[in-house]
Every structure is written in C-alpha cells, then in structure tokens.
Amino acid sequence: MELRQMQVVVAVAEAGGFSAAGRRLRLVQSAVSATVRAVERELDVPLFDRSTHRAVPTAAGEAFVAAARTALSAADQVHAAVDAVRGVLRGRVTLGVMQGLLGGLPPAIGALRRAHPGVVVRLRQAPAEEIVDAVREGTVDLAVIALTGRPRGLVGVELMRDRMVALVGPRADLPDARVTLAELARHPFVDIAPGWAIRHVVDRAFRAAGVERAGVFETNDILAAVELVRADLGVTIFPATLAALFPDLRTVAIRRAPTWTAGVVHRKGPLVPAAAALLEHLERAGSGG
C-alpha cells in the first residue's frame, strides 16, 4: 500500500466526503473514489459508509485512518531527518487557531517562511474545544487558543496576557472612565456564542462579580458582533488587542478587568522539525522578540 493511498483515505475522513477530499488534494472525485475502492479491495473491508450524504468511516475505516496518520507522520519525520542532515528544513505543519487570535499570527508565520521557504503552513480555524481535540487526534500539530485551564494530556505554552475591555458604539451612554461589570450589565449585551473562549472568560467574570447581564444578541462571528456594536445595538467585551483592530469604536476600561491569556498547545513528546520551528517563532513573537 502506498503513502499516497493513505493520504487520500485520511483526506476523505477529515473532509467528510469524496468531492471535498478531491478539492483538498487537487484531484477529481473519480480519482479519489477509485483510490478508496482500491484500498478497500486490498483490505477486503469497506472503509466508509456511503449511505448518507457524508462519507462516514466505518469501524474499520476509523482504525485505518488512525494507523495511516501514524504512518504518514513517520514518513514526514523520515524526510525531515534527511533534510536536517542536508541543512534544509521542509515539511508541512497544521496550525489550529481559535476565532479572534488569527491577527497576531501572520508575523510569526512570515518569519518562519522567510527562514524556511520549504515549510508549508496550513491554518485551521474552529472553536477551542474542537481545535484541542484535533491536536489530541494528531490532525493539528499546534494550536493557538485562549488558555482557560490546563489542557488535559497536552503541553501548553503561554504566549501573551491581555486585559479585556468593553467595546461600545459611537452613541453608547457610557463614560470614558473605568466602568464596572454592573454598569455594563445595564446595557444590551452582544455575546459570543457558548463554546468560544471569549464567552467562557466573560461568563466567568460576571459570575465572580455576582452580576447578571441581558444577552440580547449572540453570535459565533467576531465581525458580526462588531457590526452589532457599531450599530449601537449593544456592548461587548473583547481582549484589548482584538478591540484595537476596530479603531472607529470606543473602548472603555473595566474595573477589575478579566484577563485574557493566549497560548499554544501541542501533544507531549518531540515535535516534527517544521512544527518545532513554528513554535519557536510563535514564542518569539509572543515575547516581543
């Protein structure tokens, strides 16, 4: 069995379908289907349940995908080891990132690419819990998330700490001086949806203050939340660095402001060279170096 065949089967499992896997691999759907059928004939077992609109791995398919990921990772390490002897760093690293943290990553990725043009970085954006699960499964090498606790079974490296601020519309009836959470709670509130780290930090801060807010709007899109605030339909709370991306809106400091901590997580054990190099650049960017 060839590594390319393993890559195709893994892509189908990750993308949830043959067409989506073909787009990812730049193959026509018929080639993807033919490859999967060839592997199934060789193993004499179906790898996917094709009775639904999605290609869902069977029990044998799940076992195959887990083993194939290990084999593909080992192959990448073989190539990386040979390249390292030649003084060349190549490979592919998948970087997971939760919403609201993408803005600080391009400088680190750019520095990596200038130092090692042969390294390809794939970005995957999703809620923190989903990204952390992907790191545990090995489908994501590194993940930049809000560190709201110690991720079970993973290594966490803090990159930055940031205070949170109120982001308010142009006609919001709030002073420029520091406000309390109780004062903010008197206004309609634009909440980020449950499951996102911003919501977790904000919920925890209001609970600790013993204050309830009226969550009038709820969205899983940062830009949608900003547009609601810009229309003076409510106020929200963002990390200061994120709020600074919208200079047309006013930020108001919060008394006893909650702290936003961002960091990178990865599985225990040595990283492949490309991932280790990216982690080094992320840490350097986080420390301001």
Higher pLDDT, 215 or 3: 3
Q: Looking at residues 94-112, what average pLDDT do you find?
A: 81
- Please give the pLDDT value at position 288: 53
Evaluate if residue 59 carries a pLDDT over 90: yes
- Please give the pLDDT value at position 91: 79
Evaluate if residue 39 carries a pLDDT over 90: yes
Among candidate residues 283, 273, 288, the one with its CA nearest the CA of residue 89: 273
- Please give the pLDDT value at position 221: 86
- Please give the pLDDT value at position 250: 92
Evaluate if residue 24 carries a pLDDT over 90: no
Mean pLDDT score of the chain, rounded to an integer?
86
Q: Looking at residues 96-124, what average pLDDT do you find?
A: 83
Higher pLDDT, 18 or 90: 18
193-207 pLDDT, tens digit per residue, is 887 778 888 998 999
118-158 pLDDT, tens digit per residue, is 888 988 887 778 888 888 888 889 999 888 777 788 888 88
Highest mean pLDDT among 13-27, 209-223, 225-239, 264-278: 225-239
Domains of the chain: 1-88 (1.10.10.10), 161-259 (3.40.190.290)
- Please give the pLDDT value at position 152: 81
- Residue % of the chain over a pLDDT of 90: 33
pTM: 0.64
Higher pLDDT, 130 or 190: 190
